[in-house]
Structure 1
Amino acid sequence: MNIEYKKKLWFYKTLFSYLPVFFLVTSILFLILFLAFSENIKKTTTKSNEFFVMQINQSVNNILSPVEKMVVNEMLTNGTLNRSFEAEDLQKYDIYEISKALKKLILNFPIIESAYIYYQGNRLVISDSVFTPLEQFSDQAFIEEQLSERQIGSSWTGRRMYTDVRKNDTQSVVSLVKKYPFHTGSQGLVVINIRVDTVQAMVAEMSSLETGVVHIFDGEGSFILSTEQSASTAYRAADVDDAYAKSTSDYTGWEVYSGFQNGRMFAFFAVFPYFWVVLGLVSIGVGAIWIIFITRRNYKPIETIMKRLNETFSLKNRDLFAKGNPDEIRFIELAIVDLMEQANKFQSRQEEDLIRIRKGFFKETVEGNRPIELEEWKHEMRRLGLKETFDKIAFNVLEIDKYYEFTAVYSDKDQYLLKFILNSVVQEIAQNHGIHAWTEWLSNERLGILYMIDDPDEEAAKISSQKIRQMPENYISWIKDNLKFTATVGIGGETDQIDDVPDLYESAMQALKYKPIFGNDRVIHPEELLAKPKTEIFNHVEFVGTLAHTYRSGNPTWHSQYQAFFQNLRSGMFPREDIVSIIHYFLYYLDRSMNELSNKLRESWQQRTMPALAELLDRFETLEEFEKRSYPLLESMSDEIQRQRDNQNNNQMIHDVRQYIDENYASPDLSLNLLSRTYNLSPSYLSQLFKDEFGEKFVDYLVGIRIEKAKKLLQNTSEPIQDIANKVGYLHAFSFIRAFKKLVGKTPGEFRK
């Protein structure tokens, strides 16, 4: 130890040489400064006290003001609360909802001791736990006193006694009184009670100095609370020392006084002014400790905020602190920004929910998923902020043409923008015609348009109906002139009953099913569907087999038959699903027939032509479109088949064989053996060449020709079946009938009928 002390001897000498000079100089400077600025300190202390009392006043306002704002918000936005003031008789459910709202208010603001609502119409009081007549309510006198006053708007009372019957407890409270309605207060009032002890504890926490005291009086000078334990309720504002700083609240009208107990602070300055010289020296020693203590005490609010934020953002702390290693203030700022973002997201989610609810109700109304009565319709429309009254309703469906191309050309963002434009254009055109239109997207490509005519005058209603019939043409014209795609509108009709809307929707959708017949970029009226006669689909199904056979065999007449096939479909007035079924059956029949060709041709058909035709069948919208786009595919495949046949040996001979069959099909002696002898080939080889060339067996081809000729004779003549059988190469009628039924599916007699 001695050696260690000697090593630091110069340090201690230097230290003790400067310390006396330091203390002497600081003491002299402190004395001079004290004598020069003692009066200034007194003035500064007074100003600080005034600022402090303003802070307390503002803090009290900050405690009470949110309570009033929440009460006003509930009175303005709570539908049950608004209706209850105007209702002659409150239902149990309404009482429950009101009591629930009061409990929620007390839960949100723990400083609230109790709350109740008085209804002037039936003289009833509802609190968070009590429902009683005014005459049996413990606060009857206060209610009657408030009703007799003419003051309108915000009213925070002074200190008063309130007895809670449920708790069997009497407490000193201050009360917020809000009359309803605000401008008259004729229907009742809302009373919020806050315990004086609660406010006093908050004020005491802000004024923690033992020498400091805070008094609060109401606008009439009556005592409310004090941080001085000995203060009496009889204490009035007039009794407060003039040395106290005073601040009057513009919000509550309360007066806040702050000063030192019994004026001891400034008296001490006057009696013992020079004592502060010694006190200043002592302050140098204890200043550091005091600063640490005060800093720690002042840091507590920030520490409390940090603790709460840490609980709230327990999963996000690392993310927030990662942003530049922020201090506490920066962290609080980031947390507030995050809370604001969450609030904005919540508001956006609410708006999205409203849009989703509106769209869901629209679809329920038009699709008829559940019955909707008129009163329910009006209630939901009011809730959604939409027009509820009508004399007539009309409905249309606008469908984007070639939607698969629309999705391929435009990005998701552009699609959303274009659909928004379509929606806006429809509503703007309707608005320009004086018609209210409610529009919602029923699916990706279909926009439902519900028109509401509110013209009780019959002549005016006719004019509005005529406008509604004209507007779809305006939609089509505008889209064609301003956008790079087209649309088709299906007309649903009109009704004066809300439960008939699903029928209008079905009518409009039915009209759109005939787009393959009528085409795109137009308006389809239900009357047009009745104007053209419809044919039986069976006639076209029969023709499919003939067309597929002609195509597969390479007969060039398939071109004209293909055109005739689509011409017959156009004149048949079939809806889209029937047309798709017929074409699908044709492709199925053709695909099955093509499987009898060579491997190379089958592979080309299955990998190139058939997938392209299937995709076209899924996407086509008009018959003209399918015919124009499918014809090159079939023609290309037909050319490929023909090229392969031309490259094979004995091609001409096989064609001669087919020609021989076409000319001699009526001969009962025509057979594969006869042909093999005629052309000097073995029957098996001839059969193989025939199948490779034409895709079917010799026997099937011969039967097919005979049956086709027989069908024409059955249709165009009245000859007996036995004679027809002989003319097409059958010696026995039963053989002909069996072959005919196997190929056609009917007996000759049934076919003739």
Structure 2
Amino acid sequence: MVNGQLSFMSILDRNGQVVYDAHSDREGAVDGQELNTLSLERLGWTISSGIKKGNLYGWVSVVSYVWVAIAVVTVICAIIYIIYITRRNYKPIQIIMNRIEAHQIRVLEQSGSRTDEMKLIDGVLENLINHMMDSDKKSRENVLLQRSKLFNDLLNGENLDHAVERLKDLSPLTGMDTSSCFAVVVGEINRYEKGFQEQFTRGEQNTLKFALMNVLQELSRNADMQCWTEWVSSDQIAILFLSTDSSPDMTEQIRLVAEECRSWVEQNLRISLSFGIGPIAEGIKAIRESYMAAETVMHRRLLRDGDVALAGQWRDQLEEIFASFERDKLPDDEIHSLVQAMLQMLSREVAVMSEQLQEKLSEENINKWLMLMKEAETLEGVKDILFEDLTDLFRTYVSVTETKSYKAMVNEMKNYIEEQFANPDLSLKHLSDRFQITGKHASYLFKTEFNMKFVDFLTELRMKETERLLKNTDLSLQDIAQKVGYANGITLGRVFKRVAGITPGDYRRMKREHHDPES
């Protein structure tokens, strides 16, 4: 119970005689420090204990040495860690400094003067910041270009393989899928050249167009609808509406938004607008049909009733006709006779426009439709059959009218190219500005109509004129190049050899050698 190395204990009676002595006879007990004393009155004993001299300091010293060792180890570890972290984080700075020194050595060898390091670092940082700002700006511009391209692809029905993913990434529309319903509205500024352009400066025009986009988006949000707006030409804006629940009132809601926008803009911005509303398109691939129908409405300005017109209003009128059939309780024979008369009248009015429509409304097809309607058991069944057939007919009609309206423009474009092929600035951009259509659309129309690219057609015209000048004149290649629209003779020679297979000089020599024997 008692450690003889550290402590001692003794028991004394009333007379001071030692009753029990534990380790008190060893070294250090006599001069040790007595810590505890206990008196037993009944026995008259006194118990005392304490620590021998020198052992308390030794025990405390042991404890102190442990803490000192821990502190020393901690400091050493901290120093090692600081050195490691410093060396690791200093490596990029060291690499930069090495490059600066290498650059200074090269400059010193070339110019003989040493540049200021701080000035060099400041210039590098400034260039880096400018580069990052330019990169961010180009990135934003790239997003805008991709967004505009996606919008045009949707309207033209092109590149729709991953359209849903692109819409989610680029468009402001949310919550869409492959079964979502869309509708396209085309808005047009009335009297654009005579009113809008003459009344406002270029900067004011851009501001008003931007304001119009914001007004449309705000009115759509107020009507709990989503829309995406883009200017498709200088005077036309296309609005793509999205509905995720295929509401039957979507067309009416769009009409109210368009009417409210037209009224607000006319009152506050003093701009007159017209809107053409396309039919509801079920799925992304049907957006093109909605856009074409809205465009068709805008091309019939003189036939529109008001500044907000719906495409496919024949459906509403046909609904009213069948409602009157049901209301008047007409017999089956009269209903079939009226439908037959309507189809025959439609054939006389529309079939003459094209062979496609003539085939659709042939007597054989009309009789087939009438037979299917007679087999229907209800009036609703008759209406469904007629609606399906007339919808297909309407799509053909829209396609034919669009082709006819563009055909004249494409022919005019072809004549313009034939007259201006010697103009070095003649390009798709030049044609788009001249005919107020996009360059991509101009290229598409040209290839569709003439089965060749615009560039190939232009090159063919220039090569024919080059051959004529090489054969009949002594003009130099440089002079001929300027006459056919090329900047220099080198470019003309390269193109001519690619097309004809021989150089212009060899062609001229061959033609003249062939001509001399005949003469």
TM-score (norm 1): 0.28
- Between 1 and 2, higher relative CO (CA 8 Å, sep ≥ 6) is seen in 2
- TM-score normalized with structure 2 length: 0.40
